[in-house]
Structures are given as C-alpha cells and as structure tokens.
Amino acid sequence: QVQLVESGGGLVQAGGSLRLSCAASGRTFSNDVMGWFRQEPGKEREFVAAISGSGRATKYADSVNGRFTISRENAKNTVYLQMNSLKPEDTAVYYCAADPTIWPRTTTSAYDYWGQGTQVTVSS
C-alpha cells in the first residue's frame, strides 16, 4: 500500500522556521518528482515546491521562493520542506505528493499519490 506521511507541522510565530518531512512507503519514489502543496479553508490547493527524482531540478511558487527549500533523501524515501521567514499567510494544511515523471510540475492533477496533510499555523 502506497503511503505518504507528513510530519513537522505546528504553531510558529511570524519570522520563525519549520521543517516538514514526508516519509514515503509502498513503492520506490526515487525516480518520482515529489511536491509540496498547501490549502487554506475554502480555497483551492496550491503548489508550493517540487523536486525531481535526482534532486537536481527544483521549482517554487513565487510566494515562497527564497524562503522555502525543498530537498530529498532517496535512501530514506523522504522529502523535506524547510520553511524560513514564515508569514501568517503561509498558514495552511501542507500536503506531500508524488508524480511519476521526470520534470517538476505545478498542477495538482499531475500528482498520483497524496499524503493526509500537516497543519502549519503562523501567528502574527
């Protein structure tokens, strides 16, 4: 059974940092693009960041570029999202997802596997 399990969310003050982790199991994800998305109540899920299987190609949403860093450890089947300089508008449920392709994509429909999400709340 394919599973993606996010962890590391929580409550943090504006300007603070969090690191999210996503542990994958049930298949080999080392060739897959791994992505992070987020969703606020009543809004559509939006792209945050994605990384290729090799880790050499990354893509970021404009709103997080320069503040967030995506990385992966294929030996551990784990992908990370380091979030720095957090803002209240970063508050959302963050989801990990896997896309069995080569180049990072930004649309939710491209991703086949999804985790259950982890809440990130940034207080002002």
**In the predicted structure, residue 114 carries a pLDDT above the cut 90:** yes
- C-alpha to C-alpha distance for 52 and 47, rounded to whole angstroms: 15
**77: Cβ–Cβ under 8 A, 6 or more apart, which residues?**
23, 24, 25, 28, 29, 30
Q: pLDDT tens-digit profile of 31-87?
A: 999 999 999 999 999 999 999 999 999 999 999 999 999 999 999 999 999 999 999
Tokens of 23: 């542990």
- Residue 5 CB: number of other CB atoms within 10 A? 14
pLDDT reported for residue 19: 98
Closest residue by Cα to residue 60 from 88, 38, 28, 91? 38
Phi, psi of 7, rounded to the nearest 5 degrees: -155, 165
